[in-house]
Amino acid sequence: MVNVTFKQNPVTLLGKEVTVGDKAPHFSVLSNNLQPVTLNDSKGKIRLISVVPSIDTGVCSEQTRKFSQEATSLGDDVEVLTISVDLPFAQARWGASEGVSNVQTLSDHRDLSFGEAYGVVMKEFRLLARSIFVVDKDDTVTYVEYVSEGTDHPDYEKAIAAVKELIN
């Protein structure tokens, strides 16, 4: 079981913990134009899934910008997804104001499909816990980081290294 705190207070994570070697669970989230997006929509690509509590906060914004910068050097076989429970309109506004276009921001606000499938719903706040998942072209999870304190940064270098190991 994963132990996570948010602002130093323990939180309860809902859903099943995902571990390296698992088949990536299916999910359905919303794009910025309110269209459903599933894991299958990026089938055959390496997926770096960056999960943030809210795109409008400092660490979450920085995390998304960091992976956006890295995405340019990872090539066309890699899809970078940022998932939060922010409304799609807020995500689109953030992306436009930050000039971030090579990361797909996706909303899990409707039914927490992603959050429950990946064990990252913070019950106390109805937000997603900061985490990183790397999924290979065959939908196998190859890297997982549940950030132990929700206001801390993930290990960017390890996540990018995990993606680079999968690039042929």
Residue 78 among the catalytic residues: no
Burial class (CB in 10 A: 0-12, 13-18, 19+), 5: middle
User: Token pair of 132, please?
Assistant: 């990183």
Q: Among 60, 71, 80, 83, which one carries the catalytic annotation?
A: 60
Predicted model pTM: 0.97
> CA 67, 108, 27: angle at the middle one, nearest 5?
90
Query: So what's the pLDDT on residue 32?
Result: 96
Q: Which residues contact 165 (CB under 8 A, 6 or more apart)?
A: 142
User: Token pair of 2, please?
Assistant: 């994963």
Query: So what's the pLDDT on residue 1?
Result: 74
SS3 63: helix
User: Token pair of 93, please?
Assistant: 């506004």
* pLDDT values of the chain reduced to their tens digit, one per residue, 168 residues: 799 999 999 999 999 999 999 999 999 999 999 999 999 999 999 999 999 999 999 999 999 999 999 998 999 999 999 999 999 999 999 999 998 888 999 999 999 999 999 999 999 999 999 999 999 999 999 999 999 999 999 999 999 999 999 996
Query: So what's the pLDDT on residue 168?
Result: 67
